Amino acid sequence: MAVSASSPLDLAALARPHLSPVLGRYFERSWSHGEGHRLYDTAGRPYLDFACGIATTALGHHHPAVTRAIHAQADRLLHVCNALGYVEPVGRLAELLTDSLPVPLDTVFFSNSGAEAIEGALKLARRVTGRPGTIAFSGGFHGRTMGALAVTTSNLNYRAGYEPLLPGVYLAPFPNAYRDFGGDDEAATAGAMAGLRQLLAREIPPSEVAAVLIEPVQGEGGFYPAPPAFLRELRALCDEHGILLITDEVQSGYGRTGRMWGFEHARIVPDVVCVAKAIANGLPLSAVVTRRELQERWGPGAHGTTFGGNPLSCAAGVAVLETIRDQDLVANAAARGAELKDGLAALMAEDDRIGDVRGPGLMIGVELVSDRASREPDGATCDALLAACADAGLLVLSCGTWHQVVRFIPPLDVTADEIREAVAIFGAALRGLPRAGGTTGA
């Protein structure tokens, strides 16, 4: 198909015959470019981007510092492979990244994607502890590769037809306060800890568990935060039994929750932290961070990569972390997040199709239900809402097993005006959606 640079393009028509349909898509729109917090389609129409390429373009599009860093590095060196020696942005990013983490997390292994970071963390845990077992939490999402998939249970379609997956994986109940414990964090903590202890008494002894893997805020599973008290009890249990605590900060990290790292809300320090998504504002990059001793025991050659930690992504990564630090964007995420949550809570007060508004910082989920008392998930309304928001110029995404949760993941440098704009569009879109009985929500 001929491509003209001047007319609005239907890129879907161009791409569909050759791109695999296996990739699930939120939208079928054709994108031209991005500027700041707006994405533009090929007809030149702007959209306020509160999807951020699934929590990845945390500084928005065409950010001057990131773009400058990428251009400068592209002019100098694209690839050499870290196995062949040292390149400046790689070392600088490792230093900045570990500076952003608590002591003793001081050593980084770079790879390309979130799933790869999870694979690396699981391999490290097995090799270093000499134990076979991994405990993950029901409803979690950690990626699509076979190892990461073995610890992923947010949606049946991700796993169906791929068994047998990695052996030695055990699932514990996640402390999902909204869905399973009537919104009570204390009950969720007690219930999930009881489930975990039962698992350790009945299915696998703690002495055979290498690692416990958890998202501090479940992401794809539905934006469910783990109560801080639960994370503290989990930390204590891991300490008691010599189990490594891995936090998957792929979505919840990098200032997203109004703290640099999701685990900070619980005042714990994990043994292993997995990082990806926002780390290079859209270039592929991920990291496994631990204390030095663990990666020394992992041992030279025990893991590797060709592209992981490439100079271009790392140069972007340095610009991202310097910008977050210099512009105090973690504080901005906390302040703007509170405004966003207030705005959405006001919508919830006027519309009982919203069952819950939750989440720290700029990681906010709005759960759609058929009625508030039953908490019956309403994926159809959520899907319609996403489409209506996009039609009105706001990009938001869904998550949750029944895609019943609208997730708001705006850029970390979002402004108060943009928050107001998003809430206004979202509210109008919801009011315009017919209720099950046939009338609109207004």
Binding residues vs ligand PLP (CB under 6 A): 54, 113-115, 118, 141-143, 215, 219-220, 248, 250-251, 276
SS3 string of 152-215?
Answer: CCCCHHHHCCCCCCCCCEEEECCCCHHHHCCCCHHHHHHHHHHHHHHHHHHCCCHHHEEEEEEC
Smallest distance from the beta carbon of 118 to ligand PLP, in angstroms? Answer: 6
State the residue number with the nearest CB to ligand PLP: 114
- Which CB sits closer to ligand PLP, 149 or 423? 149
Write down the least CB distance from residue 194 to ligand PLP, Å: 25
248 vs 418, which CB is nearer to ligand PLP? Answer: 248
Locate all alpha helices (DSSP H) within 24-113, ordered by sequence. 52-55, 64-76, 88-99
Q: Which is nearer to ligand PLP, 265 or 353 (CB)?
A: 265
State which residue, 142 or 341, has the beta carbon closest to ligand PLP: 142
CB of 148 to ligand PLP, least distance (A): 7
* Virtual torsion, Cα 183, 406, 51, 25, nearest 10 deg: 130
Which tokens sit at 42? Answer: 């090929």
Cα 275 to Cα 270: distance, rounded to the nearest angstrom: 13
Q: What's the CA gap between 418 and 421, in Å, rounded?
A: 5
Considering the complex, what minimum distance in angstroms separates the CB of residue 301 from ligand PLP?
A: 24
Residue 250 half-sphere exposure, CB side, CA atoms within 13 Å?
31
Pick the closer one to ligand PLP by CB: 215 or 413. Answer: 215
In DSSP notation, 392-440 reads TTEE-EEESTTS-EEEE---TT--HHHHHHHHHHHHHHHHTSBPTTSSB
Dihedral sign of CA atoms 429, 434, 440, 441 in order: negative
For residue 92, what are the contacts with CB-CB under 8 A and spacing of at least 6?
Answer: 314, 318
Nearer to ligand PLP, 142 or 353 (CB): 142
Q: Which is nearer to ligand PLP, 82 or 251 (CB)?
A: 251
Least gap, CB of 54 to ligand PLP (angstroms): 6
Query: In sequence order, what DSSP letters do the residues of 239-281 get, joined into one string?
Result: HHHT-EEEEE-TTTTTTTTSSSSGGGGGT---SEEEE-GGGGB
Which of 114, 411 has the CB closer to ligand PLP?
A: 114
Q: Is 10 helix (H, G, I), strand (E, B) or coil?
A: coil
3-state secondary structure of 365: strand
Residue whose CB is less far from ligand PLP, 142 or 403? 142
- Closest separation between CB of residue 153 and ligand PLP, Å? 13
Q: Which of 267, 413, 284, 260 is nearest to 336 (CA)?
A: 413
Cα 62 from chain centroid? 21
Between 282 and 311, whose beta carbon lies closer to ligand PLP?
282
Asked if 136 and 142 count as a contact pair (C-beta separation under 8 A), the reply is yes
List for the chain the helix, strand, coil content (%; round to 5). 40, 20, 40
CB of 112 to ligand PLP, least distance (A): 8
| CB-based contacts of 23, cutoff 8 Å, min separation 6 | none
**142's tokens:** 């950690």
CB of 123 to ligand PLP, least distance (A): 15
- Nearest-approach distance from CB 252 to ligand PLP, in angstroms: 7
Closer by beta carbon to ligand PLP, 113 or else 398: 113
Least distance in angstroms from the C-beta of 264 to ligand PLP: 16
Around Cβ 104, how many Cβ atoms within 10 Å? 14
Residue 417 CB, nearest distance to ligand PLP (Å)?
A: 28
H-run or E-run covering 383: helix 379-391
